[in-house]
Amino acid sequence: MAWGKNSRARPRTRWRRLGRRLAQAIVGFFGISILLVLLYGFMPVFVTPLMILRLFEGEGISKDWVAYEDVSPDVYRAVIAAEDNLFCQHYGFDINAILGAFKKNQRGKRIYGGSTISQQTAKNVFLWPGTNIVTRLLRKGFEAYFTGLQELFWGKRRTLEIYVNVIEWGHGIYGVEAAAQFHFKKSAAELSKREAALLAAVLPNPRRWSAGKPTSYISRRANSIARRMDQLPTAAPGCPVGLIEDEK
């Protein structure tokens, strides 16, 4: 009888042990992720999962962190105009853009994205590129989580600062300072409105297009971005665009 009771108790013990370990893992994940977001609130982001992946693929890493005020204000306007014109109005997610992209994706073969700059920052800083539908959906879940943390702890200005410092702008080129030096032989602070628009124009596929040697399509896209830069709202509370105008 004692043997029978012990044999029935063992599975329950294993499940309890598994449950404890799972709970510890979940608590550890939340603790580490929140700590990272807090640290990146004032520390530079020196490396990202994408940079490490590209390194293993045989590419180098050209990257120099620059402070918010050491980047031309036109760069911030350009990326907002190109990637997320409601950046200063939303709280990390543009629901209308997400729904619009979903509907377009249902109709055609071309894949449209509805991610905000906040979401793209979360993906670039904390996550990995999705290679199939399962990993992409999993990444999207984590992306939403980190986006919420960023909106809570960073604010718009810090999100923009990190975004322009970590995004890929060519093979082995990360961040606006490295991109400015590579494409235009000048610092990020010296970029003109046209150059900022060209950098923003290639962001959908910076490994295919070059800001320094733009195709006719990229040149037209940069012209459109430059026009939209002048139409961005400036009155939203806490919006960095207003600060950018004041700095000019």
Token match 């031309």: residue?
A: 72
Average pLDDT over residues 77-95: 86
pLDDT, one tens digit per residue, over 46-71 is 999 999 999 999 999 999 999 999 99
C-beta separation of 203 from 218 below 8 A:
no
Q: Which of 50-54, 65-69, 190-194, 243-247 has the lowest mean pLDDT?
A: 243-247
Q: How far apart are CA 121 and CA 114, in angstroms?
A: 13
Domains of the chain: which residue ranges? 1-39, 45-247
Identify the pLDDT of residue 20: 87
- pLDDT band at residue 246, thresholds of 50, 70 and 90? very low
Q: What is the mean pLDDT of the chain?
A: 85
Q: How far apart are CA 124 and CA 116, in angstroms?
A: 12
- The one-letter code for the residue type at 117 is I
C-beta separation of 176 from 71 below 8 A:
yes
C-beta separation of 154 from 37 below 8 A:
yes
C-beta separation of 231 from 240 below 8 A:
no
- The one-letter code for the residue type at 38 is L
pLDDT, one tens digit per residue, over 141-154 is 999 999 999 999 99
Question: Which CATH topology does 45-247 take?
Answer: Penicillin binding protein transpeptidase fold (1.10.3810)
Is the confidence at residue 133, as pLDDT, over 60?
yes
Token match 């984590």: residue?
A: 142
3-class SS string, the chain: CHHHHHHHHHHHHHHHHHHHHHHHHHHHHHHHHHHHHHHCCCCCCCCCHHHHHHHHCCCCCEECCCCHHHCCHHHHHHHHHHHCCCCCCCCCCCHHHHHHHHHHHHHCCCCCCCCCHHHHHHHHHHCCCCCCHHHHHHHHHHHHHHHHHHHHHCHHHHHHHHHHHHCECCCCEECHHHHHHHHHCCCHHHCCHHHHHHHHHCCCCCCCCCCCCCCHHHHHHHHHHHHHHCCCCCCCCCCHHHHHHHHC
From 233, 240, 202, 196, select the one nearest 85 (Cα to Cα): 233
pTM here? Answer: 0.84
pLDDT, one tens digit per residue, over 138-188 is 888 999 999 999 999 998 999 999 999 999 999 999 999 999 999 999 999
